[in-house]
Amino acid sequence: MTALAQPIHFVANADIRTAYRRAGTGPLLLMVHGAEADHTMFLGLMDALAKSFSVVAYDQRDSGQTENSSADYDIEDLADDAAQLINVLLKSAGGRSVHVFGTSFGGLIAQVLAARHPQLVGSLILGSTWPVHRRLNEVNPDALRQLAQLREQLPGAAAQMGAFFFSPGFLAARPETVELFRGSKRSGTQAARRALMMQAPPPSIDFSAISAPTLLLAGSADVLVPPTETFGIARLIARAHKQELLGLPHVGAIEDPERVAEAIERFLLQA
């Protein structure tokens, strides 16, 4: 059964009802999606990893099928949401920790999660991301400026936006991918809360608290987050290893899930 065919489950507390999907059997692997995505960005990657892991992909606040209150929130809140979900998963599956894979903005949440709740993170994979104490407009100001201009020209500029996330060959072979950029699945209110959260001062964390073995995974063709930024995290996390995937763009989890899965599986089976 494919990940898409798996049912949606929910974990609820006072002000949030978190939606998630689970596929496969084996050690728990939690996936944390990017800023403009939801858990469905991982469906192909879940299928590729399900033979070795029990893969869980969930929707953050104001994303996908998760329901939350109108209250503002920050990255620390999103990390604590992930910790709550992990605790529920461990209660039903046993064990004391899970593997965590965070990509792009999800990598920021994963860094905060591993620092605030180190006992819950057995291994950490950070893909196409940057140190959480820096803003993306510091990491790649030119790209952020161009993306802001293109957003004002949507839906006509969808193909141009797609070029920041996928390779030209993939977009030519899968032109329907451009539809991801023509309009948001979020309501205006949801999008505004996400934007406010992204514009808030970045959190300051104690990187020395991250004790889990960590893989820094970057695509050599990532034009949004340069691989040097992802690999720079190795200066902050003691047990960090680097791997570059040649020719892979920013959203490798969608473009080439098999190759991303191979890198994740190799690391986790050796960690």
Sketch out the chain's domains with CATH numbers. 3-139+201-270 (3.40.50.1820)
Task: Over range 54-77, report the average pLDDT.
Answer: 97
CA angle, 20 then 26 then 105, to 5°: 45
Q: What is the mean pLDDT of the chain?
A: 95
pLDDT at position 137, please?
87
- Res 270 pLDDT > 90: no
Tell me the CB-side half-sphere exposure of residue 217, using CA atoms within 13 A.
29
Q: At a CB cut-off of 8 Å and minimum separation 6, what does 206 contact?
A: 115
CA angle (128, 70, 107) in 5-degree steps: 10
State the chain's maximal CA–CA distance in angstroms. Answer: 49
Residue 1 has pLDDT above 90, yes or no: no
- Report pLDDT digits (tens) over 30-63: 999 999 899 999 999 999 999 999 999 999 999 9
Q: Say yes or no to pLDDT of 170 above 90.
A: yes
